């Protein structure tokens, strides 16, 4: 679901950054208030960012020979609140784009809009609906499933409208060449048939575990969490160690191919098999740890090192934000 650079027109990218700007602004204001009530919100946002980053490394095969992954945004909304979850996902996607080349720099706003805004807010709304009817576990399950599918639908629409809004005088697409009739079914089939169920199961299982073992860490509880490190750090460590399991699923996610992959897919769909001009001459950013690996290092080792690097960077960000907040408060 990570839209790469050059798949969306500059106008689309700018529009989605503009759409996210007020969401980020409100999120920061809401979270400041939340921190006053629960000081552990700051480290929990870091934990949420780390969890989302790591779970997105576990690719799974989906019909059609591509791959996809869970996100964890609904779960984070249940644990941290939707506004804090938005910030956690934003941090995870920022690191993925700039350090690991997963998701575009220009498409960052689009990716956050889908995974950091639509997904946690849709998922949390459905969770609260289930809770209102005395079925919070069912709400968590349904929220996890539909949250990621609404995000997938949004990504499919963003990709699918490109041939309509950005094309040459002769009608050839400049960016993503796949119409809505291809992009929307492709995105939804992967998530409705496979990934949505994984997201739903992970959401309800972790929610149930936290509810039983550390209910103070849930968003709506007034008490200050006391076991943030003891519960989450071992889990994150295990996820980082097991992250190479994501390499078992071969193939790229739908809509995340390089230019050669785009041509191959166009041929397979009996479409005009030429790289769109905007793709061919667009942004070419080389991330330091592109594809979660380093040259000359075995892929599994590179995956673990990338996971560890992400945890360290997120820890640094949390420390800086925590120190700045403490300074402002004092």
**For residues 4 and 107, is the Cβ–Cβ distance under 8 A?**
yes
Angle of helix 41-55 relative to helix 73-80, nearest 10 degrees, comes to 170
Q: What is the CATH number of the domain that holds 45?
A: 1.10.1760.20
53, containing H or E segment: helix 41-55
**For residues 52 and 141, is the Cβ–Cβ distance under 8 A?**
no
**For residues 96 and 51, is the Cβ–Cβ distance under 8 A?**
no
Which pLDDT value is given to residue 277?
93
CB atoms within 10 A of CB 164: 10
In this structure, is residue 296 part of a structural domain? yes
Which pLDDT value is given to residue 211?
87
In this structure, is residue 282 part of a structural domain? yes
Average pLDDT over residues 149-166: 97
The domain total for the chain is: 1
User: What proportions of the chain, in percent to the nearest 5, are helix, strand and coil?
Assistant: 70, 5, 30
CB atoms within 10 A of CB 252: 15
In this structure, is residue 325 part of a structural domain? yes
**For residues 158 and 8, is the Cβ–Cβ distance under 8 A?**
yes
The beta-strand segments (E) located in the chain are 60-62, 66-68
Distance of alpha carbon 128 from alpha carbon 10, whole angstroms: 36
**For residues 129 and 161, is the Cβ–Cβ distance under 8 A?**
no
**Residue 224 confidence (pLDDT) above 80:** no
In this structure, is residue 1 part of a structural domain? no
Which pLDDT value is given to residue 228?
63
Which pLDDT value is given to residue 37?
85
Distance of alpha carbon 93 from alpha carbon 106, whole angstroms: 12
Q: End-to-end alpha-carbon separation of the chain, Å?
A: 41
pLDDT digits (tens, 9 = 90+) for 24-76: 999 999 999 998 888 888 889 999 999 999 999 999 999 878 899 999 999 99
What single-letter DSSP state applies at residue 244?
Answer: G
pLDDT digits (tens, 9 = 90+) for 66-124: 899 999 999 999 999 999 999 999 999 999 999 999 999 999 999 999 999 999 999 99
Could you tell me the pLDDT band of residue 227, with boundaries at 50, 70 and 90?
Answer: low
Range of the domain at 288: 10-329
**Residue 330 confidence (pLDDT) above 60:** no
Instruction: Calculate the average pLDDT of the chain.
Output: 92
pLDDT digits (tens, 9 = 90+) for 242-277: 999 999 987 889 999 988 889 888 888 778 778 999
Q: How much of the chain, in percent, has pLDDT values that exceed 70? A: 96
Which pLDDT value is given to residue 143?
98
In this structure, is residue 306 part of a structural domain? yes
In this structure, is residue 4 part of a structural domain? no
Whether the predicted model's global pTM rises above the 0.85 cut: yes
């Amino acid at each position: 679901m990570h839209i790469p650079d050059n798949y969306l027109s500059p106008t689309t990218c700018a529009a989605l950054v503009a759409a996210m700007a007020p969401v980020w602004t409100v999120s920061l204001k809401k979270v400041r208030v939340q921190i006053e009530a629960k000081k552990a919100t700051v480290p929990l946002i870091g934990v949420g960012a780390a969890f989302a980053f790591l779970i997105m490394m576990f690719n799974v095969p989906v019909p059609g020979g591509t791959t996809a992954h869970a996100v964890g945004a609904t779960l984070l909304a249940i644990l941290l609140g939707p506004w804090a979850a938005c910030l956690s996902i934003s941090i995870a996607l920022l690191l993925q784009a700039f350090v690991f080349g997963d998701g575009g720099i220009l498409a960052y706003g689009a990716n956050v809009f889908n995974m950091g805004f639509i997904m946690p807010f849709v998922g949390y709304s459905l969770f609260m609906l289930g809770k209102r009817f005395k079925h919070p576990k069912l709400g968590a399950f349904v929220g996890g499933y539909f949250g990621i599918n609404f995000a997938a639908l949004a990504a499919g629409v963003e990709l699918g409208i490109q041939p309509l809004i950005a094309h040459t005088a002769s009608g050839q697409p400049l960016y993503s060449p796949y119409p809505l009739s291809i992009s929307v079914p492709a995105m939804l089939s992967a998530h409705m048939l496979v990934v949505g169920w994984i997201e739903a199961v992970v959401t309800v299982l972790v929610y149930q575990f936290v509810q039983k073992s550390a209910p103070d860490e849930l968003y709506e509880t007034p008490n200050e969490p006391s076991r943030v490190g003891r519960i989450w750090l071992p889990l994150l460590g295990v996820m980082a160690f097991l992250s190479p399991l994501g390499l078992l699923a071969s193939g790229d996610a739908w809509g995340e191919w390089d230019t050669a992959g785009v041509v191959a897919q166009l041929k397979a769909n009996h479409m005009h098999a030429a790289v769109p001009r905007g793709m061919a001459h667009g942004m070419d950013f080389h991330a330091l740890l592109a594809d979660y690996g380093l040259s000359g290092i075995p892929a599994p080792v590179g995956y673990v090192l990338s996971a560890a690097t992400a945890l360290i960077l997120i820890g640094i960000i949390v420390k800086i934000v925590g120190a700045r907040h403490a300074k402002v408060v004092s």
